[in-house]
């Protein structure tokens, strides 16, 4: 079960389908990994200040970031964790990268879910594994490779 909470109205102004896009990306990411339970995830679509507050409080880092993932504590049952996305950061990234906002949103949600299940990108090898899985998940959603521009690919 994917629960989506929207506290920043700008998310819905970008697309009326924002909750459906989030749920589809989260479900696709969960479908790409093996879990022995039906996970529950809460996704918060909020503003930059709220994410900056979370970033400072839980990661001891200043300012907002695009997406934060908070894996659930041991014993949380089927609750896998929480994800928070900052509207301003996400919108600015999509524009700067020349990507449709909906595509970037789905990428960041899939990325956040993969963090919840233990994927990371601290090393080049980890990043390669995680990015490969993200490409596969997004392709299934009809979203182009988000890393193609970084490699100089055309699509």
Please state, rounded to an integer, the average pLDDT across all residues of the chain: 91
pLDDT tens digits, residue range 15-34? Answer: 778 999 999 999 999 999 98
CB count within 10 Å of CB 125 equals 9
Task: Give pLDDT, residue 36.
Answer: 81
pLDDT tens digits, residue range 59-80? Answer: 999 999 999 999 998 888 899 9
pLDDT at 150 over 70: no
Q: Which residues pair with 43 in a beta bridge?
A: 4, 83
pLDDT at 152 over 60: no
Task: Give pLDDT, residue 144.
Answer: 92
Task: Give pLDDT, residue 102.
Answer: 93
Q: What share of the chain is helix, strand, coil (3-state, %, to 5)?
A: 50, 15, 30
Q: Is 13 left (phi over 0), alpha (psi -120 to 50) or beta?
A: alpha
**Cβ atoms of 21 and 106 closer than 8 Å:** yes
Delineate the domains of the chain, giving CATH numbers in brackets. 2-151 (3.40.390.30)
pLDDT tens digits, residue range 86-107? Answer: 999 999 999 999 999 999 999 9
pLDDT tens digits, residue range 33-54? Answer: 988 888 999 999 999 999 999 9
Q: Which residues pair with 5 in a beta bridge?
A: 44
How much is the pTM? 0.91
Task: Give pLDDT, residue 154.
Answer: 41
Task: Give pLDDT, residue 155.
Answer: 41
């Amino acid at each position: 079960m994917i629960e989506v909470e929207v506290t920043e109205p700008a998310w819905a102004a970008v697309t009326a389908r924002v909750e459906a896009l989030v749920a589809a990306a989260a479900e696709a990411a969960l479908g790409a990994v093996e879990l022995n339970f039906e996970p529950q995830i809460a996704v918060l679509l909020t503003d930059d200040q709220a994410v900056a507050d979370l970033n400072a409080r839980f990661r001891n880092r200043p300012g907002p970031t695009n997406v934060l993932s908070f894996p659930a504590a041991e014993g949380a049952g089927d609750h896998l964790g929480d994800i928070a996305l900052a509207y301003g950061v996400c919108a600015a990234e999509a524009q700067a990268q020349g990507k449709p906002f909906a595509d970037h949103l789905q990428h960041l949600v899939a990325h956040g879910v993969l963090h919840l299940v233990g994927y990371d990108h601290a090393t080049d090898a980890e990043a390669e594994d995680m990015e490969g899985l993200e490409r596969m998940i997004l392709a299934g959603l009809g979203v182009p490779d988000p890393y193609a521009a970084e490699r100089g690919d055309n699509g």
